[in-house]
């Protein structure tokens, strides 16, 4: 998604500068106006990394996910009945 740098004025007349990710310049301007700002300058930020330079998504085998889920939820699911009653203890 393209990144835009903008300058805008708030209701008190102070200048605000920031960046925003938006599908188009028009979408960015619409969002900035919804924030209550008056856009004075907007430019496409060309300093962002190309998509090929981003870090790859790490894939995890299914069995690792299952083990992680079991580790996190094991204390909530007792594996045996308690000795003090019928096992309905919490």
Give the residues across from 21 on adjacent strands.
Answer: 3
pLDDT-derived band of residue 72, with 50, 70 and 90 as boundaries? confident
Average pLDDT value for residue range 53-81: 65
Q: Which domain holds residue 15?
A: 3-44
- State the total domains in the chain: 1
Identify whether 89 is part of a domain: no
Residue 41 has phi, psi (to 5 degrees) of -155, 135
H or E stretch covering 64: helix 62-73
Q: How far is CA 45 from CA 14, 22, 30, 51, in A?
A: 22, 11, 17, 14
Identify whether 51 is part of a domain: no
What pLDDT is attached to residue 49?
A: 54
Identify whether 27 is part of a domain: yes
Model-wide pTM > 0.75: no
Reported in sequence order, the residue ranges of 1-90 that DSSP labels E, i.e. its strands, are: 3-9, 15-21, 38-44
The CATH number assigned to the domain holding 32 equals: 3.10.20
């Amino acid at each position: 998604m393209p990144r835009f740098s903008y300058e805008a004025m708030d209701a008190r007349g102070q200048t605000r500068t920031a960046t925003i990710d938006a599908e188009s310049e028009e979408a960015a301007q619409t969002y900035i106006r919804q924030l209550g700002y008056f856009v004075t300058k907007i430019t496409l930020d060309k300093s962002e990394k190309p998509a090929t330079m981003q870090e790859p998504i790490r894939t995890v085998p299914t069995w690792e996910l299952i083990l992680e889920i079991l580790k996190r939820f094991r204390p909530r699911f007792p594996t045996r009945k308690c000795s003090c009653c019928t096992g309905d203890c919490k």
